[in-house]
Amino acid sequence: MSDPSAYIFDTAAVLHNRARAETYGNDHTFLKQEISDRLHDRLHDITRPFQSVLDIGGDFARFSGMPATTLSISDTPLPTSDNQFDLVISNLVMHWVNDLPGLLIQLNRALKPDGLMMAAMFGGETLKELRHSLLAAESELTGGAHGRVIPFADVKTLGSLLQRAGFALPVTDMDTLTVTYEHPLKLLADLRGMGEANALLDRPKNFMRRDVLSRALEIYSRDYAQSDGRVPATFQIIYLTGWHPHESQQKPAKRGSGQVSLAAALKAGAPPQK
């Protein structure tokens, strides 16, 4: 597990934001519903039954209707046993985990041999328009800037973390969704309703100055508004898939086991010479 002194998220604030979002009902859950559907579609491509399922975050089970044990992610060890589940799945919550390498190791241990871990989380391009607008406005009006949109991991880093956690056959891929809004304030309301309000440990503890927020909204509209006046918000979704190792799984070929040299392959594929 990583050093807690290096943590960047306020776990209590993360849990508070999620609990508050639950009181808003389903008015802001369209994105989690969409990604839950996409995860469900991916599971349909795997021709095996999953008898014991662990839902990390709770959203997938709620939206998909799949029976599962649900747990809320925190920075404490998961209350699970080794080799307990056929499937571990997570829908748009793992980007708030301080010790993501440690969590992935725990999830791998919780899986039975040849069990599957599948997760979706926000990637590095998420909310790039909002990040730019807030930084530009605060820098312009106060001479400095605070982190108001959290950092998101990129696909290469997450792929490496899957390997380090001991998953077999690790795969990462991504989608980019663009949601358009009548006004940037609508985006802020959705983020609050999804439980995605700022929970950085070093976040400003006072409300953003009204003039800074107003200027950020102006910059957002100025720099990103489409011809119809609506503004886009980018959500990059990274999917992580890995299996608990099992002897039946496909293994990569040993180094040097190829029967055709690279030079011969290149020569074979070259156009004929005149």
Place of tokens 């959705």: 190
| 3-state SS assignment for residue 22 | helix
Q: What is the mean pLDDT of each run of 10 residues along the chain (274 residues)?
A: 77 92 89 94 90 87 87 82 94 94 95 96 96 95 87 94 96 96 96 93 87 97 96 97 88 59 51 46
Q: Domain locations in the chain?
A: 4-126+151-200+235-250
pLDDT tens, position by position, 199-232: 999 888 788 899 999 999 999 999 999 999 999 9
DSSP-assigned beta bridge partners for residue 239 = 120, 173
Q: What pLDDT shows up at residue 272?
A: 47
The DSSP element (H or E) to which 179 belongs, if any, is: strand 168-181
Cα–Cα distance list, 195 to 17, 129, 167 (Å): 5, 19, 29
pLDDT at 274: 43
SS3 103: helix
- Cβ contacts of 249 within 8 Å, gap of 6 or more: 114, 168, 169, 243
**Three-point CA angle 121, 124, 130, nearest 5°:** 105
Distance separating alpha carbons of residues 17 and 139, to the nearest angstrom: 27
For the purposes of burial, counting CB atoms within 10 Å of the CB of 143, is it exposed (0-12), middle (13-18) or buried (19 or more)?
Answer: exposed
User: Shortest CA distance to 238 belongs to which of 167, 153, 169?
Assistant: 153
Instruction: Look at the domain 4-126+151-200+235-250 and name its fold.
Output: Rossmann fold (3.40.50)
Beta carbons within 8 Å of 233's beta carbon, 6+ residues apart:
127, 129, 130, 178, 179, 180, 181, 187
At 247 the pLDDT is 85
Predicted pLDDT of residue 157: 95
